[in-house]
């Protein structure tokens, strides 16, 4: 996802936002994860020495500590489009994290017991920290599959017995636009995700921003950049003043909306002139009443138009 991914990961890396998302998803909004207990982990996963020379890079990954002890490793992978290989990719990420934990235990045991390198050093009572990865999906298309490794595998017909011997690996996909219950969120992430859920309906979006003006009028800079990236809102981004620590999303949207209305009027005036010059008054009447037909005429006359 490139620059978009950077904006998303940067905002979601904020401990209060990160904790808010996982408290909503894992615990139904109960404040179980205290963001003060989160520690940033290195997102770069080095591959074993014997494998090809490349690295995995997580989007966001944090260790959660409780009473000074590691409790769980939490990761977020941002996804803009459906990835039909996601179960394999997530399995690799999680496996690399588990392998890293095993190696750390082995190193500690070797040091404690004076064992030489190469000897087995993971013992029956040793345990490692669990890993949970959330695939946060921002796309509009419904993510139906894949949701587990078996969705990718080709099994012969009548192969229930074979299937039962092949380990499966389910993944956790949360669609921001379809599945996220924003009422469970307690930070400005509620308004940010609410914005994304409303953005396809301009009237609903304008109403939602107005109802949450107390948040959108002083949105954090990182939240505004996140929103512009997730919404593919390059026009929104250009309308924002990101030089300050907080941004007025309400003003940016008003400016954008007013510019869009004025621009739309100019485009329709140009279309009307061309239709009248070609004596196509019936088409003009139809264009006034039918948005899709109006778009068709814009394309026919090669008039650069706004979305309306």
**What are the extents of the domains in the chain?**
3-184, 258-301
pLDDT of residue 234: 44
Q: Which of 187, 267, 250, 168 is closest to 216 using CA atoms?
A: 250
Are 64 and 33 in contact, with CB atoms under 8 Å apart? yes
Return the structure tokens found at 153: 């595998």
Are 205 and 222 in contact, with CB atoms under 8 Å apart? no
Are 59 and 9 in contact, with CB atoms under 8 Å apart? yes
Residues 54/60/66/70 CA torsion (nearest 10 deg): -10
User: In Å, how far from its chain's centre is CA 299?
Assistant: 33
Cα angle 248, 250, 253; round to 5: 110
Q: In the chain, what percentage of residues exceed pLDDT 90?
A: 46
Mean pLDDT of 153-162: 84
| pLDDT tens string 170-187 | 999 999 999 999 999 999
Query: Confidence class of residue 123 from pLDDT cuts 50, 70 and 90?
Result: very high
pLDDT of residue 30: 96
| pLDDT tens string 237-248 | 555 555 566 677
pLDDT of residue 50: 45
Strand (E) or helix (H) holding 69: strand 69-79
Beta bridge partners of 66: 69
Are 115 and 121 in contact, with CB atoms under 8 Å apart? yes
Q: Check pLDDT > 90 for residue 288.
A: no
């Amino acid at each position: 996802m490139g620059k978009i991914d950077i904006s998303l990961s940067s905002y979601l890396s904020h401990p209060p936002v990160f904790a808010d998302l996982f408290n909503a998803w894992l615990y139904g909004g109960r404040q179980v994860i205290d963001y003060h207990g989160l520690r940033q982990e290195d997102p770069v996963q080095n591959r074993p020495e014997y494998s090809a020379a490349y690295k995995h890079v997580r989007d966001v990954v944090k260790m959660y500590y409780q009473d000074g002890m590691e409790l769980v490793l939490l990761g977020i992978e941002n996804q803009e489009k459906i990835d039909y290989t996601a179960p394999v990719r997530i399995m690799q990420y999680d496996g690399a994290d588990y392998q890293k934990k095993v190696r750390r235990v082995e190193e500690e045991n070797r040091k404690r017991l004076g064992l030489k390198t190469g000897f087995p050093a993971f013992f029956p009572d040793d345990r490692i920290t669990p890993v949970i990865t959330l695939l946060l999906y921002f796309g509009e298309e419904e993510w139906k599959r894949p949701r587990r490794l078996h969705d990718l595998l080709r099994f012969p017909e009548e192969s229930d017995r074979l299937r039962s011997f092949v380990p499966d690996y389910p993944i956790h996909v949360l669609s921001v636009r379809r599945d996220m219950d924003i009422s469970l969120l307690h930070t400005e992430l509620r308004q940010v995700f609410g914005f994304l859920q409303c953005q396809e309906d301009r009237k609903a979006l304008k109403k939602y921003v107005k109802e949450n003006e107390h948040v959108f009028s002083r949105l954090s800079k990182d939240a505004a950049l996140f929103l512009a990236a997730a919404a593919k809102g390059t026009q929104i981004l250009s309308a924002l003043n990101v030089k300050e620590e907080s941004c007025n999303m309400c003003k940016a949207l008003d400016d954008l909306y007013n510019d869009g209305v004025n621009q739309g009027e100019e485009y329709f005036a140009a279309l009307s002139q061309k239709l009248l010059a070609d004596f196509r008054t019936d088409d003009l009447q139809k264009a006034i009443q039918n948005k899709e037909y109006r778009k068709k005429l814009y394309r026919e006359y090669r008039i650069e138009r706004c979305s309306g």
